[in-house]
Amino acid sequence: MRTSLILLSGRLLDPVSGGLLPESALAVSGGRIADLGDDRRIRALADSATTVVDLKGAVVTPGLVDGHLHPVMGAELTRGLDLSGCTTLDGVRSALAREAAALRPGAWLHAWGLDPNVFGDQPVASAALGGVLVDVPACLRLFDAHSMLASPRALELAGVTGPRTFEEAAEVVCDAEGRPTGLLLEEAACHLVERAAPQPTHTERRARLAAALRGMAAAGLTGGHVMDANGDGLALIGELDAAGELPLRLRVAPWCRPGAGADALRALIERQGEGGALWRTAGVKLFMDGTVDNGTAWLEHPDRYGESTHAFWPDPDAYSDVVRALHRAGVPTATHAIGDAAVRHALDAVARAQAEDGAGNGTGGGSGDGAAGSARVRHRIEHIETVPDDTVRRFARLGVIASMQPTHCCDFTRADHTDNWSRRLGEQRASRAWRCRDLWDAGATVVLGSDWPIAPYPPLGVLAGARHRRPSQDLTRPPHGPEQALSAREALHAMTAGPAYAAGEEHEAGRLAVGCRADLTVLADDPLTTPATALADLPVVLTAVDGRPTYRDPRL
């Protein structure tokens, strides 16, 4: 088989040991690393059709993988006005006023990234925006993507005039007289208003998804564990793949919602393994709760407003039955669980499923090479924002992957606990924020991601946040829970070898070794020696997936 790609004069970095390999060059054939060696010997493998790149001392790592990503949903939610840079209510009002003035009469205003912290102690309600959106139908997604602020005109067009009942945890928030305040909690409620707005065409959605994925490749990502496949999401991914326009390797977990019966479960199980050249369906995504910020997390004790007391599944035992059925079928689950009660229940469900078939899993790969404690089914818990000590220790014992997003702690909370998330939880629970270090030290396999569009997707920013835990917009501010920081090597492991282990692919991914996939990220310098506060700005010079360059710096 011919050699398709050769990289010369590189520094090859091993994320397991944290050291450089003795070789300086690699050759790719058939989408795999075919050889490692010195420049002279590897160069001799080239023919007239081989792409040869002189890296000039740049650092090659196994491809960076985002462990929790929503590309299809994100491409849709990020259309319109970006409010993520607004830190005050006046700033939000001004941005909305400018956007509204530019709209044609009757057009809908879409915005995203609204931070509830801008409301201070006021309720998150459309009334707080004053007269900015008078007669303008508007959908303003809060940054957590689990809630929305709808303008009075949008509610009117959607026919939302009072409270509604849903099969899952969701709410049209109303005042004492039963009138909607504009705040909609969770997807089922948000959808009431969104479906009333004009919808983008299939072509527009495909183009937005393709552009988002190209941006991810340019940022150094070679893959992502995708946690949404709603509607025609899989079809969009499949179309890009068939056209050779998919620049990331995607592992997709379709959703399973409360009320799913035997037929729905059977369909989810039968879809496992579907895919194409660079994507496949693997696993099922479930929700155990919502978010702390909007009071829909599931906590063992209510937050300071008396909220976050219920599971997303009205019957948590029904969730456990689904986990057990999927486990029996060999299907891994990925459960969104943010609050301590939600995480505990998700772990309990896995423990019961394992006990039923005797599949005790032992420890994972968090503090080692990702190969220990191999399990037949590798379940995951996503987010894990606040948990007590006894819960931390159970991850390794059950072999459950800890999938975490440290930039949420960096950018949406504050070290002094004056932010909305911390105020709601109180001092004790806020001090347990994103316990990456404790989970790692307990032996859990830690996987890092962005949860884009909730936070920016550039992986170097995620790696940096795991190390410094400071607000990315102002790195001079103090870190939130610096004792929970990961080392440079640990963070890199959690975006290379860690995701490979979580996917059961440690034998062919997450390493620079002959026979492994040629999914590669090339950086201008060593990410392990670059200071954490400078890492996000380290240039990406080349990204390759399946041995095919998906991004190349023009200067290379």
pLDDT of residue 99 exceeding 80, the answer is yes
Where are the CATH 3.10.310.70 domain residues in the chain? 81-196
Percentage of residues in the chain with pLDDT exceeding 90? 90
CA distance 135 to 555: 50
Write the CA distances from 479 to 223, 431, 535, integer angstroms. 29, 12, 16
Asked whether the CA dihedral 540, 542, 545, 549 is positive or negative, the reply is positive
Contact 397, 533 (CB under 8 A): no
pLDDT of residue 556: 85
Average confidence (pLDDT) over 381-389: 97
Above 50 in pLDDT, residue 153? Answer: yes
- pLDDT for 414 equals 95
Architecture in CATH for domain 81-196: Roll (3.10)
Give the CATH superfamily of 283-358+376-486. Answer: Metal-dependent hydrolases (3.20.20.140)
Indicate the pLDDT class of residue 375, thresholds 50, 70 and 90.
low
Note the pLDDT of residue 359.
54
Tell me, what's the pLDDT at 131? 84
Q: Distance between CA 457 and CA 300 in Å, rounded?
A: 31
pLDDT of residue 555: 85
Work out the angle between the directed axes of helices 233-242 and 202-218 (0-180°, nearest 10).
70
pLDDT for position 214: 98
The reported pLDDT for the residue numbered 308 is 97
pLDDT at 230: 74
The whole-angstrom separation of Cα 549 and Cα 542 is 7
402 vs 69, 98, 197, 377, 502, CA distance in Å?
A: 15, 42, 37, 14, 9
Question: Where do the CATH 3.20.20.140 domains begin and end in the chain?
Answer: 283-358+376-486
Report residue 130's pLDDT band, with 50, 70 and 90 as the boundaries.
confident
Q: Residue for token digits 């579907």?
A: 274
Angle among Cα 374, 378, 380 to the nearest 5 degrees reads 135
Instruction: Report whether 502 contacts 445 (CB < 8 A).
Output: yes
Q: Is a pLDDT exceeding 50 seen at residue 367? A: no
HSE-CB at 37 with a 13 A cutoff on CA atoms is: 12
Q: Rounded mean pLDDT of 116-127? A: 90
CA–CA distance, 527 with 538 (Å, rounded to integer): 8
Q: Where are the alpha helices (DSSP H) in 78-200?
A: 89-101, 152-158, 187-194
CA distance to 6, 57, 515, per residue, from 3 (Å) = 7, 22, 13
Number of helical H runs and strand E runs in the chain: 19, 24
At residue 360, the pLDDT reads 53
Average pLDDT of the chain?
Answer: 94
Q: Is the pLDDT of residue 311 over 70?
A: yes
State how far the Cα of 258 lies from the Cα of 269, in Å rounded to an integer.
Answer: 16
pLDDT digits (tens, 9 = 90+) for 427-464: 999 999 999 999 999 999 999 999 999 999 999 999 99
Checking if the pLDDT of 258 tops 60, the result is yes
What's residue 423's pLDDT?
Answer: 96
pLDDT for 357 = 81
Torsion of CA 379, 238, 449, 498, to 10 degrees: 50
Mean local confidence (pLDDT), 361-382: 59
Q: Residue 374 — pLDDT band, cuts 50, 70, 90?
A: very low
Query: For the ranges 96-100, 113-117, 228-232, 253-257, which has the lowest average pLDDT?
Result: 228-232
Place of tokens 């002959």: 514
Q: What six digits make up the tokens of 253?
A: 């977990």
User: Which pTM was predicted?
Assistant: 0.93
Confidence of residue 121 (pLDDT cuts 50, 70, 90): confident
Q: State yes or no: pLDDT of 370 exceeds 60.
A: no
What confidence score (pLDDT) does residue 83 get?
Answer: 94
Mean pLDDT, range 509-518, rounded to an integer? 98
285 CB-side CA count, 13 A = 21
The pLDDT assigned to 168 comes to 85
Burial of 529 (0-12, 13-18, 19+ CB in 10 A): exposed
Query: In one letter, which amino acid is 472?
Result: S
- Which pLDDT score, from 0 to 100, does residue 448 have? 98
Burial track 208-244 (b if 16+ CB lie within 10 A, e otherwise): bbbebbeebbbbbbbbbbbbbbeeebbebbbbbbeee
